Amino acid sequence: MNVLKKIVLTALSIGALYFCAGYLTAWQAKQACVDESYRSAQQRDVHGYRMGGGKVRPTRGEFEANIAGPFQVEVVYSVPRDMHATIFVERYLTLPWRREFRSSEVIQLVDAPDHRLGESALAAAPHGQAARTDET
Q: What pLDDT digit, counting tens, does each position of 93-104 carry?
A: 999 999 999 999
pLDDT score for 52:
80
Q: How far apart are CA 96 and CA 28, in angstroms?
A: 9
How buried is 85 (Cβ within 10 angstroms: 0-12 exposed, 13-18 middle, 19+ buried)? middle
The pLDDT of 41-58, averaged and rounded, is: 88
Question: Could you tell me the pLDDT band of residue 76, with boundaries at 50, 70 and 90?
Answer: very high
pLDDT score for 123:
44
Q: How far apart are CA 10 and CA 117, in angstroms?
A: 61
